[in-house]
Structure 1
Amino acid sequence: MKLKLTFILLLLGSYASAQTQYLWKTATAGGYTYKYVTNDPTHSRFYTLKNGLTVILSPTNKQPRIQAYIAVKAGSKTDPADHTGLAHYLEHMMFKGTDKFGSLNWAKEKPLLDKIDDLYEQYNSTKDETKRKEIYKEIDKTSGEAAKFAIANEYDKMMAAMGGQGSNAFTSFEQTVYTEDIPASAVDKFLTMQAERFRAPVLRIFHTELEAVYEEKNRGLDNDGRKAQEAMFEALFPNNNYGKQTTIGTIEHLKNPSLKAIRKYYYDYYVPNNMGIILAGDFNPDVMIKKVAANFNYMAPKTVPAYTFKPEVPITAPIQRDVYGPNPENLTIAFRFPGASTKDARMLSLVGSILTNGKAGLFDLDLTKKQKLLGASAFPYVLKDYSVLMLRGTPVKGQSLDDVKALMLGEIAKLKKGDFAADLIPSIVNNLKKSTIEQNESYGQRAGNLMSDFTSGIDWRTDLANINELSKVTVAQVVAFANKYLTDNNFVIVYKHQGEDKNILKVEKPPITPVEVNAGEQSAYVKKINAMPANPVQPLFLNYDKDIQRAKAGPLDVLSVQNKDNSIFRLYYRFDMGSWNNKLLPVAAAYIQFLGTDKQTSEDISKAFYKLASTFSISAQPENTNISIGGLQENFGATVTLFENLLANCQPDEKALASYKARLKKVRENQKLNKGAIMQGLVNYALYGPSNPFNNVLTDEEIDNLKAQDLVDILHSLANYKHTVLYYGPQTASEAGITLAKLHKTPASFTPNPEAKKFVRAKLTENQVLFADYDMVQAEINWVRNEDVYDAAKTPEAELLNNYFGSGISSIVFQNIRESKALAYSTYAYYSQASKKGDNDSFTAYVGTQADKMNEAIKAMNDLLTTMPESPQGMLAAKDNIRKSIETERITQDDILFNYLGAKRMGLDYDIRKNTFAAVEKLTLADVTAFHNAQLKGKPYTYCIVASEKRVTDDDLKKYGALTKPGLKAIFGY
């Protein structure tokens, strides 16, 4: 095996050699000097402009698009102590425009915005509640007057019009990052827009956006995971702002914002020497750096306020925190480590993989595979000042959280003694090499890695060299490291209990008068940007006959796309049967992970896969089942043989089944405590009625009666059913077919698939309400209805409706419900076409809002479903977004195969994007309005509502239709 591992390392090229040198070098091209790291597979260049702005460029021409990050090294850690949440506020406001865009008349708007500034300062300094309400009333009134001159979401519409995708931003402890995925042809428009955006942001439409942040806070109050993590950080970091304040801020500070303080934060931290522009994608870096410099040279450097903190004192006794909420109970143990740029932080990542890597870690083998815990993981949380090793465990039925603690700390004790396989470290390194190859294929992941290193202060050379460094680590070094940092007493432990949180506070709803959004207007500045030339890009549509190679592996069809870039392969066996054919199939598919053969234990098999840097999974969906096998082509034979032997020769294990039954029941119990799962069940109930795909599961009695031999028989016979082979890898289809025919045994004739259960879509003639009680601050509402049978001719209208009306920040739904009325943090509406010929389309709209806003939110969505506002400019932006997204979309690798199978299920033998691209240009606002009116207006809906009965009354619910409250057993089927 040692020789084999050496052979693998040699085949991995620049990633593989322990002698690879990663050195910083300096070069000059196109008049600009940059730094780069030798042997960097991403060919990234690091520039520093004269004003201190960092520009990182990573060119790759796989797709004609660019992932862009504009990152600021400031986040909640640098929030003023009396204005927590401020960095996050500012992030929201950076989408509102400047004096040049986002405004119809800046001269008239500015005095009103100045008045709002002053009113908020009065509001914050006033303690008398009566006077505060009077001031707020004036804020609301003045905000309405100012909004008449504002153009809401003009930035988002501009980005959509240029073909942008994923326009968003995020704030964390020490970073605020603005993200865009744009066509490479639109880079001039993009850079012009961004340079203006960061020049002088205007804090307009503030009080409605503030309410959206309140909604985000309420979502956090309903999120047990977030509460547990905040409690953990508070205990770990009493001196650092990691623990002293949260990213979203306190309720008191949320309710008392200062626009002047927000503006000061912008001037202090949004300076070029504290910012980075990270671009990865299809461009010439010599040309790109000139464009970036030309647009951002105006920014002036400034000394950035230094963040200082008192170092944390060692933890000498476990610090316990208790958190309560409706979600299932779990336990978190956290140890403190040095910060991101240290060697110890890099060692921490290795320790995390020794504990959890998905296959062969201590937690994986000893706790998860042996089913001692329902779930167990260990992962590093790396920050600039400190890092954290987090251990998280979920108990099985009848287990206490202290039992979970003992089991996880028991594995830490093994780590500290070096009680793990000697070849685990080389296996981790080998898997890291494969992961790096896969990540570098994606321009998005490249940009994300570069951005993360920039904001956390990690040297890119050090990051690249990390694999070499870890490959030299010995077991003795790991043991010494673990004993240094993981003592019996130096941790924080958070008990997440299932129960009522009696300390929860709700952000109360303020009175807000809906403001104008001027959806159909456009500023002169944006018109100028729209008029800028862009290089045309020709769309590339799939030709299934040319883009897919076809061959045979014995009697099986092989569909293949060749990987000409590296040694990664992905192999799939695709069966046209699933849980609707046999409810035991998904149970057997999950059971296999706990089984061994007559020659290998389950643990042996997991270790063998991990050693080969290979993976496998079996996924049984309602109507199909996929076996997925992946790894390095040089290990193709060994990997496939290992899996085939497991599938054909796995042995029934009654002890493992008994644990699995208990595990399955506990998972099902936990699902009933999950509001997302409850809503999913209600939506299925709405679409199909009481008997539906969601509750098409085993009863408790059927689980009790499961036999190990029955499940193993299903696995042994799986290859006897007809299936298709999908292959993405270095071989041709013919070569893969010949290779696979020797490894994958098939019968002389295939067994017919079991008859599938049929589910009939519900026919709705009048409104109805399905309600489920859940202890939470918010109310979540889905509007659900079945539509007509799938018709490919409807695709262009459906996509344009979604883009214009209900999907994304620039949509009508978002502008009206969030921007104008401040009724939700998240809201959308989506017409979903069926995934199979003969099935029905469906429509879903969603609002997540405070319970006391539920009636207002429902009315707002119903108004939009009845009458769709018309915005010619919004329609043009939506059309441009669809066409430019299709122009620059490249379906590659194994996605080609799944796109083909998806089209085939819908009765198509062509790439439907070609029809959409041609048709959208000809569609008008009148066409989309007609589609909206035909499909949505005046139609009956099922309102699926999850909320607390303590906050929502039956009388309210009955306003919208006949009320049904299906119990959890009716929803889940058990």
Structure 2
Amino acid sequence: MNLIKKAICSLLLACTMSSLAGAQQKKYEWKEGTSGGYTYKYISNDPMKARFYTLKNGLTVILSVNKKDPRIQTLIGTRAGSNNDPSDHTGLAHYLEHLLFKGTQRYGSLDWSKEKPYLDQIESLYDTYNRTADATARQAVYHSIDSVSGLAAKYAIANEYDKMMSGMGAQGTNAHTWVEETIYEEDIPSNVVDKFLAVQAERFKDPVFRLFHTELEAVYEEKNRGLDNDGRKTYELMLATLFPTHNYGQQSTIGTIEHLKNPSLKAIRDFYNTYYVPGNMAVVMAGDLDPDQVIKQIDQAFAYMQPKPVKEYKAPVEKPISAPIVKEVFGPDAENVMIAFRMPGALDVKSAVLQSVISEVLNNGKAGLLDLNINKQQKVLKASAGVMGWKDYSVFTMSGSPKEGQTLEQVKDLLLGQLEILKKGEFDETMVKAIVNNAKLAELVGVESNKNRATSMMDGFIKHRGKNWQTDVSFVDDMSKVTKKEIVDFANKYFSNNYVLLYKRKGEDKNLQKVDKPAITPVEVNREAQSAFLKQVNEMPANSIKPLWLDFDKDIQKGKLGTADVLYVQNKDNGLFRLYYRFDMGSWNNKLLPLAAQYLQFLGTDKYTTEQISKEFYNIACNFNVSTGTDATTLTVSGLQENFDKAVALFEHVLRNCKPDEQALAAFKGRIAKGRADSKLNKSNILKGLTNYGMYGPKNPFNNQLSQSELDAVTGQQLVDILHSLPEYQHMVIYYGPQTLDAAIAAIGKQHQVPATPKTIPAPLKFEKISQDKNQVLFTNYDMVQSEVNWIRNAGNYTPDNTTLISVFNGYFGGNMGSIVFQTIRESKALAYSTYAYYASPEKKDGRYSVVAYVGSQADKMGEAINGMNELLNDMPRSEKGFMTAKQSMKQDIETERITQDGIIFTYLGSKKLGLDTDYRKTVYSQIDGITYDDVKKFHDENIANKPYTYCIMASDKKVNPEDLKKFGDVKVVSLEEIFGY
């Protein structure tokens, strides 16, 4: 789904079934309302019923009510991002985002009066550092910064913001900076709005930039991670070439290496004072709220903000591109090609609508030109198209990955060939109607998500301060008015030789740099300290929210369809259905099953070609999927209940009547071979495989693959026989939809034949976790700036009695930003951007637990990072307050969790795999208060501390010498062939 589509996704989500069938379009007009003493604006027929308030100081507040869960998604955003960075301090908006988690004078500090002189001195030192060119002199200044920072840190309380949010039950604490925005996210229980607003009002009142040099190191790590990411490099080069004068291309969000090395706290403060002002900010909330009460609370909390004009970024007009501009990116990952066109921005509503429709005509996942002419026919490994919409300009991209033996130039020609088809109008005009119906279908699902609602509303504010919400709400209806002539005219106007062409080639990046590791002395984090402000927030009263437990006997209705068990939950919200056939059989039972499942998408029947099948499903706004895991295969049909019979009948026909296509199989095998080769170039896949090796040994679930000779020997008839025979095995039928149980069983029974005597499921392979009896290092070489380290230790067998203790331990020790591991590795020692550690529970009752830990750091800090994690694994620091916060957060998560829809059924099935027949959350909840710190400490000492571990390390052997790793254990260099099994 393209980004413009994402932005408008969920705006018409409550469309009625009649509107999906093409009923008369509604009117969308601005209206004004007054309630609770406040005036607001809204759009008629807006299914989200969003209220737009403008407070006296200019702050925008946007509220949407959704009572589905007792939670609220909150976003606080400012219309300032890397676009607004000073040209001599790029990355500044992103720095500031990080610093707004560090606290104020009232929280994050033990004694502000004693801390402030040191922070003033640090700011002055950075100003000197910024103006110093001589390397020796700079080193001396930085040494002073490090020394004074250590003194200042004695008065800092690290992560106090995270502790407050975690303590009130917030989830998803995060923030992001992009070109035109910086957004701060929290998902809060609905009973803590006053606590949340107290913290946020204080947070944005007068932020203190404490613990700066360790946070700066975290940003360095983030930059280095980007330098190791070929996709990120391609993206940034694409923007730089497409926008030679606009800041979209000239100022990367994370900043240049030179500017990262020379930060200015004064410049950051100036940026904050300029852009974090009420007329440039919005508070967005979606969920279980009373808008009359919440707007009053927000007004009172942020009344201190004073209005101040904001200078808008004046976008330069880019000169037209008159001929293709070709660029190359080199790196270790797989090759691909990207074609990018500069388009009118989001404020040109008609253009935005046309771009969205055109992207779907090209690539909708089923019946677009790329889908049918390229992907279905397997002319490349994969191809896609989409739109990235910003205020001043949008970017339309097409991308593709080559098959074995195919050049990037050939992929480019195939992509451009589909544009020519579009420009000639050689596509079915009825596709536009199908695009609109599928968009409305997707939105029907999305309306239940508070995050979708909040994101859409914030996106409207960022792009046009919400003034165009009318066109946002009517966006899908406007799509339905688009004609074929408009599409063709637009395509011919904007798609010519005016593109940027990027070839991502495999090879050494000769220009690769990294941000060097500065000398940082670990700082205090003061785990046990609490500010008076935190205590004040914690003491604010909150209405209790009672948890809701599942009763599997009442919440799930059960029936029979022949020999098949039927599990049923009724959809009382809308007219959508989801039907599943679930088999207790996966790749461990038959290695050909995943291959057959993928092969189906390329097959036709005696009645339909594969292209016709895709079109049929797309035209009725329904989907089908065959998904194979290690121990289960699930066949899914979903869509509009009114098309249930048609969709299920079509899927049954396809499954039972698909015909082998040897030409398609040959192409499929070729793509598998190329995909396998590409996978061996991808560092995430390599690390995943290496970790599986450490957990299970040389033969493991990750490398349980067909050998090349086995793959070569597979015939189309073999795979089709597997597909045809699937319904003959014992399986379960799951239905979630608006029909009653009896009606659903009758409707399914008309289309789906259940065997009277099911076939016996083949015995599965078994993969046993190995026991670590000594320290070992598994090393794999990869050309990268950073190093990635996973710790693996397999522990005892599953027992439900340990669930509560393990959950509390994970929350306290290493599961989030307020945990011991994060505070120590990142906040105190600045050794990593990302780090965690937890005791992983198995999915089956006969499975074993595993200890899993991770640090991603610069290669030259790897030894320090490993030692830092080992210290924590062997000796867990004590923090009674941190422990109580972890327990409090865990209880509030359970209190506000609502398992609904078909999630009830899958929770039940997951519980059965663990041997449980009740909602075990109830037991956990009742036990949390009884867990003591000593219980957690004993658990850590018995299961984590001073145990042998397998270190799974991926790094460049040019930056890390495997010989140096021997101090951590016996070293084995693991080849890619051993990791992947081919």
- Which amino acid in the other structure matches residue 345 of structure 2? G
Q: Which residue of 2 aligns with 1:809?
A: 817
Task: After TM superposition, give the deviation of residue 944 of structure 1 in Å.
Answer: 0.3
Task: After TM superposition, give the deviation of residue 734 of structure 1 in Å.
Answer: 2.1
Asked if residue 913 in structure 1 is aligned to residue 894 in structure 2, the reply is no
- Which amino acid in the other structure matches residue 652 of structure 1? P
Asked if residue 90 in structure 1 is aligned to residue 99 in structure 2, the reply is no
Distance 1:948 1:352 in 2: 39
Q: Which residue of 2 aligns with 1:416?
A: 423
Give SS of 1:387's match. Answer: strand
Distance 2:326 2:819 in 1: 46
Residue-by-residue CA offset, 1:312-345 (whole Å, 9 max, x unaligned): 0110000111100110000000011111121202
Within 5 Å, give how 1:495-510 maps onto structure 2.
495-510=503-518
Task: After TM superposition, give the deviation of residue 310 of structure 1 in Å.
Answer: 2.0
Q: Which residue of 1 aligns with 2:60?
A: 54
Distance 1:521 1:165 in 2: 23
Within 5 Å, give how 1:564-643 maps onto structure 2.
564-643=572-651
Give SS of 1:80's match. Answer: coil
Q: 1:379 aligns with which of 386, 390, 397?
A: 386
Q: 2:244 aligns with which of 238, 245, 251?
A: 238
Give SS of 1:513's match. Answer: coil
Q: 1:697 aligns with which of 705, 709, 713?
A: 705
- Which amino acid in the other structure matches residue 815 of structure 1? Q
Q: Which residue of 1 aligns with 2:445?
A: 438
Q: Which residue of 2 aligns with 1:428?
A: 435
Contact 2:15 2:47 in 1 (8 A): no
Q: Which residue of 1 aligns with 2:547?
A: 539
Contact 1:595 1:653 in 2 (8 A): yes
Distance 1:455 1:552 in 2: 52
Distance 1:634 1:438 in 2: 16
Task: After TM superposition, give the deviation of residue 14 of structure 1 in Å.
Answer: 8.5
Residue-by-residue CA offset, 1:209-263 (whole Å, 9 max, x unaligned): 0000000000000000000000000011011000111000000100100000000
Q: 2:364 aligns with which of 357, 360, 363?
A: 357
Give SS of 1:587's match. Answer: helix
Q: Which residue of 2 aligns with 1:896?
A: 904
The farther-off stretch of 734-743 and 815-824 is 734-743
Give SS of 1:249's match. Answer: coil
- Which amino acid in the other structure matches residue 969 of structure 2? G
Q: CA, structure 1 residues 15+200, in 2 after alignment: closer, same or farther (shift >3 Å)?
A: farther
Q: Which residue of 1 aligns with 2:324?
A: 318
Asked if residue 74 in structure 1 is aligned to residue 80 in structure 2, the reply is yes
Contact 1:65 1:184 in 2 (8 A): yes
Distance 2:43 2:16 in 1: 21
Q: CA, structure 1 residues 262+484, in 2 after alignment: closer, same or farther (shift >3 Å)?
A: same
Contact 1:356 1:377 in 2 (8 A): yes
Residue-by-residue CA offset, 1:86-128 (whole Å, 9 max, x unaligned): 0000000000000000000000000000000000000011111
Contact 2:692 2:702 in 1 (8 A): yes
Distance 2:426 2:976 in 1: 45
Distance 1:896 1:441 in 2: 16
Contact 2:388 2:396 in 1 (8 A): yes
Give SS of 1:88's match. Answer: helix
Within 5 Å, give how 1:92-171 maps onto structure 2.
92-171=98-177
Task: After TM superposition, give the deviation of residue 148 of structure 1 in Å.
Answer: 0.2
Distance 1:825 1:18 in 2: 53
Q: Which residue of 2 aligns with 1:251?
A: 257
Q: 2:692 aligns with which of 668, 684, 695?
A: 684
- Which 4+ residue blocks in structure 1 deviate beyond 3 angstroms? 12-18
Asked if residue 464 in structure 1 is aligned to residue 470 in structure 2, the reply is no
Task: After TM superposition, give the deviation of residue 13 of structure 1 in Å.
Answer: 4.5
Contact 2:20 2:437 in 1 (8 A): no
Task: After TM superposition, give the deviation of residue 12 of structure 1 in Å.
Answer: 4.0
Distance 1:609 1:879 in 2: 48
Q: Which residue of 1 aligns with 2:682?
A: 674
Task: After TM superposition, give the deviation of residue 555 of structure 1 in Å.
Answer: 2.3
Q: 2:483 aligns with which of 449, 474, 481?
A: 474
Asked if residue 825 in structure 1 is aligned to residue 833 in structure 2, the reply is yes
Q: 2:866 aligns with which of 855, 858, 864?
A: 858
Q: Which residue of 1 aligns with 2:284?
A: 278
Q: Which residue of 2 aligns with 1:3?
A: none
Asked if residue 453 in structure 1 is aligned to residue 491 in structure 2, the reply is no
Q: Which residue of 2 aligns with 1:206?
A: 212
Task: After TM superposition, give the deviation of residue 309 of structure 1 in Å.
Answer: 3.0
Distance 1:813 1:758 in 2: 34
Q: 1:943 aligns with which of 946, 951, 966?
A: 951
Task: After TM superposition, give the deviation of residue 610 of structure 1 in Å.
Answer: 0.5
Task: After TM superposition, give the deviation of residue 192 of structure 1 in Å.
Answer: 0.5
Q: Which residue of 1 aligns with 2:227?
A: 221
Give SS of 1:969's match. Answer: helix
Q: CA, structure 1 residues 947+507, in 2 after alignment: closer, same or farther (shift >3 Å)?
A: same
Two-structure CA RMSD over aligned residues (Å): 1.1
Contact 1:9 1:430 in 2 (8 A): no
Asked if residue 961 in structure 1 is aligned to residue 969 in structure 2, the reply is yes
Question: TM-score under structure 2 normalisation?
Answer: 0.98
- Which amino acid in the other structure matches residue 770 of structure 1? L
Distance 1:895 1:460 in 2: 33
Contact 2:569 2:905 in 1 (8 A): yes
Q: CA, structure 1 residues 680+10, in 2 after alignment: closer, same or farther (shift >3 Å)?
A: closer
Residue-by-residue CA offset, 1:34-75 (whole Å, 9 max, x unaligned): 011111111111111011111000001100000000010000
Residue-by-residue CA offset, 1:354-375 (whole Å, 9 max, x unaligned): 1111100101111111000111
Distance 2:19 2:197 in 1: 36
Instruction: Give unmatched runs, 5+ long, in structure 1.
Output: 1-7
Distance 1:291 1:789 in 2: 50
Q: Which residue of 2 aligns with 1:5?
A: none
Q: 1:726 aligns with which of 722, 729, 734?
A: 734
- What is the aligned length? 966
Give SS of 1:182's match. Answer: strand
Contact 1:426 1:471 in 2 (8 A): yes
Q: Which residue of 2 aligns with 1:882?
A: 890
Asked if residue 925 in structure 1 is aligned to residue 916 in structure 2, the reply is no
Contact 1:69 1:177 in 2 (8 A): yes
Distance 1:14 1:68 in 2: 30
- Which amino acid in the other structure matches residue 881 of structure 2? Q
Q: Which residue of 2 aligns with 1:563?
A: 571
The farther-off stretch of 556-565 and 206-215 is 556-565
Contact 1:68 1:278 in 2 (8 A): yes
The farther-off stretch of 81-90 and 307-316 is 307-316
Over the matched positions of the two proteins, sequence identity in percent amounts to: 56
Contact 2:71 2:188 in 1 (8 A): yes
Distance 1:314 1:415 in 2: 22
Q: Which residue of 1 aligns with 2:844?
A: 836
Residue-by-residue CA offset, 1:479-506 (whole Å, 9 max, x unaligned): 001001001x100011100111010001
Contact 1:807 1:828 in 2 (8 A): yes
Distance 1:313 1:698 in 2: 53
Residue-by-residue CA offset, 1:794-844 (whole Å, 9 max, x unaligned): 111111111111011101000000000000000001211110011111111
Contact 1:337 1:345 in 2 (8 A): no
Task: After TM superposition, give the deviation of residue 945 of structure 1 in Å.
Answer: 0.5
- Which amino acid in the other structure matches residue 529 of structure 2? E
The farther-off stretch of 62-71 and 929-938 is 929-938
Contact 2:689 2:702 in 1 (8 A): yes
The farther-off stretch of 896-905 and 340-349 is 340-349
Q: Which residue of 1 aligns with 2:3?
A: none
Task: After TM superposition, give the deviation of residue 9 of structure 1 in Å.
Answer: 9.2
Distance 1:947 1:140 in 2: 28
Q: Which residue of 2 aligns with 1:650?
A: 658
Distance 1:971 1:186 in 2: 48
Instruction: Give unmatched runs, 5+ long, in structure 2.
Output: 1-13
Contact 1:14 1:20 in 2 (8 A): no
- Which amino acid in the other structure matches residue 413 of structure 1? E
Distance 1:905 1:872 in 2: 35
Task: After TM superposition, give the deviation of residue 561 of structure 1 in Å.
Answer: 1.1
Question: TM-score under structure 1 normalisation?
Answer: 0.98
- Which amino acid in the other structure matches residue 493 of structure 2? K
